[in-house]
Amino acid sequence: MNSGRSSFPTCGITAALIGGILAVDWWLPLGATVPVLYVVPVLISSWIPLPRAIPLVATLASFLALLDLVRAPVPTPLWVMVNNRLFSLIVIWVTAILCMRRQQDEQSLRIANENIEQQVEARTAELARANKELEALRVEVVSQLAAIVKSSDDAIVSMTLTGIIQSWNHGAETMYGYTAEEVMGRSISLLCPPDRLDEVPAMLDLIARGDHMRNVEIVQRKKRGHRIDVSFTMSPLRDAQGGVAGASWIARDVTRRKRIEAALRESEARFHMMADTAPVMVWMAGPDMKCTFVNKRWLEFTGRTLEQELGDAWVSGVHPHDLQRCLETSAASFKTEQPFTMEYRLRRTDGEYRWVLDTGVPLFDHARRFTGYIGTCIDLTERKDMEDQLRKTLKEKESLLREVHHRVKNNLQVISSLLNLQSASIKDPQVAQLFRECQSRITSIALLHDTLHRSSNLSCIRMGDYIRTLTGHLFRSYGVDPKAIILDLLVEDIEFDIDTGMTCGLIIEELVSNCLKHAFVEGKGGCIQIELRTQADGTYMLQVSDDGVGIPKDGVLHNPDSLGLELVTLLAEKLEGMVELQSGHGTAWRIEFQQLHYQERM
């Protein structure tokens, strides 16, 4: 607004000046004028704050300077006037251009000055805000530091270089038992035991030289005289000039920690003593599978030093054929954090590879974080050699037992053949029948030994195979057509010991023989069913039935002349079983029994 008001007088002065110069130039005779005076309005117009003032004034001055040409009376001096006016125009426009350039420079300078002033004002405001924020931050930091010092569990004490206490926080009150009023102005040596009074002065001498003391552990005493272990840091306090004016003391009671460390060292010493005196090899490994400890027994076995066994070095003693399997088992166990057991060969100090049983158990800390494994190794070489010898002996005994069964079967067959030869010379049909029945019983026992001889398990007999062999022999002995009399076997996969199997075989032989002899009318067929199964109470059920003519119950069970059926009753009693006879449309013998318990024979 001020520049706008000042432009009007400047414009009037410029217009009046141009008019005066025109009048003077017009009044003076031709050739006597001074056209260069038109430059003055151009110079004055440069002070007008209008962007087009200078070119307008220069144009007007140029027009007035050329106006004098119309006054020329004769053409003779015309070239003089043209040169004079042309010079005036050049001066006017050169001046105008220079003035416009100066005005632009002044405008740029003014804008630059305004920008600088604005930046200075903004920077000043920013600095003021920053100073205000810094002051607020300083106050906050000071209050926080004061709160930290006040509420810290550590003892924070400041003192002079002579050891006079100047500040005492709550942590110091708790640790040492003195209140601030009791210790302010007193010497720090009051916290030192009588035999350690020279420790603090020596420390203050170091602080006075600008040194620091960090994590130093000493013994101090509380108000009641109890000694405590203290870990402290002492630093110099400097004044405004940078000189050491005092010392700060930050201390922490580490008595409990020291006791725990001592207990841990004692526990570790006991563990090492127990591990070194153990009769087995003991090892430990971290979660990275690196070996961290082996006991004395291990070192004696391998003949190496502890350093030679730690880390991954222990694997050099494993047999090359067992190494890959050993590493894979260990890696899988470490990944799942589960116990493991494995066998491998480990080189002994004399170079011999010995079989060891390695058992590892995972270790966890109080937060259930996995920390590694501890394990033991036992030399299995003698046991494995003994097992090999036992297997060899067992195989020999097994072969011998098979040979015994084979010879017993052959001997029973010889007896059966002798009975057959003897029966051929007997004229009495009843006696001959008795010989044949004895022969059949002997054959059933021989079949049992033959089944055992061919079985993979010599301690028990598979009843399904034995019953099929026995009934097939009986059908062939009696010349039965298997299409006329059908045999239905419902036998579960049951294994009995020799005594129980032989007893069941004799019962089945008697009952099936009785069915083949008496159950079916000549010329008619039928069915014989043998069922053997396990019952819910753990006992067994044997049932031999047929769909023949049937027999009277009382006439059979109490017939003293029926040796075979009486033998069935005796054999059932041996099995602690009960015989049940069902007769009507056919006959069914049902026996429920228990397996005999083997008793060692001396």
Note the pLDDT tens digit of each residue in 52-67: 777 777 777 777 666 6
Q: Using CA atoms, how far apart are residues 143 and 146, in angstroms rounded to an integer?
A: 5
Q: Is 144 a domain residue? A: no
Q: Are residues 330 and 436 in the same domain?
A: no
Total structural domains in the chain? 4
* Domain region containing 207: 152-253
H-state helical runs in 242-380: 255-277, 296-302, 306-309, 320-336
End-of-domain residue from the set 202, 225, 253: 253
Q: Are residues 363 and 393 in the same domain?
A: no
Q: In this structure, what CATH number is given to the domain that contains residue 423?
A: 3.30.565.10
Q: Using CA atoms, how far apart are residues 435 and 427, in angstroms rounded to an integer?
A: 12
Q: Is 145 a domain residue? A: no
Q: Are residues 403 and 526 in the same domain?
A: yes
pTM of the entire predicted model: 0.41
Q: Is 424 a domain residue? A: yes
Q: Are residues 364 and 408 in the same domain?
A: no
Q: Are residues 422 and 355 in the same domain?
A: no
Q: Is 131 a domain residue? A: no
Predicted local distance difference test score (pLDDT) of residue 558: 46
End-of-domain residue from the set 233, 253, 273: 253
Q: Using CA atoms, how far apart are residues 196 and 229, in angstroms rounded to an integer?
A: 13
Q: Are residues 398 and 269 in the same domain?
A: no
Q: Are residues 399 and 543 in the same domain?
A: yes
Q: Are residues 195 and 282 in the same domain?
A: no
Asked if 391 and 410 touch (Cβ cutoff 8 Å), the reply is no
**CA angle centred on 460, ends 459 and 465, rounded to 5°:** 140
Predicted local distance difference test score (pLDDT) of residue 170: 85
Predicted local distance difference test score (pLDDT) of residue 557: 47
Q: Is 541 a domain residue? A: yes
Q: Are residues 402 and 364 in the same domain?
A: no
Does residue 213 sit in helix, strand or coil? strand
Mean pLDDT for each consecutive 10-residue tract of the chain (602 residues)?
A: 48 61 56 56 68 73 66 52 69 78 81 87 87 81 67 83 88 88 89 86 87 87 89 87 86 88 85 82 91 91 90 90 91 91 92 92 89 91 81 66 60 67 70 68 67 61 82 78 86 84 82 82 81 90 87 52 69 85 84 73 43
Enumerate the β-bridge partners of residue 373. 285, 362
Q: Are residues 220 and 246 in the same domain?
A: yes
Neighbours of 296 (CB within 10 A): 16
In order, the DSSP letters of 295-314 are: -HHHHHHHT--HHHHTBTGG
Q: Are residues 239 and 301 in the same domain?
A: no
Predicted local distance difference test score (pLDDT) of residue 2: 45
As given in the structure block, the two tokens for residue 148 are 């930290």
Report which of 485, 482, 480, 472 is spatially closest to residue 547, judged by C-alpha positions.
Answer: 485
Q: Tell me the CB-side half-sphere exposure of residue 167, using CA atoms within 13 A.
A: 15
Q: Are residues 479 and 584 in the same domain?
A: yes
Q: Is 117 a domain residue? A: no
Predicted local distance difference test score (pLDDT) of residue 404: 59
Q: Is 22 a domain residue? A: yes
What are residue 223's phi and psi, to 5 degrees? -60, -40
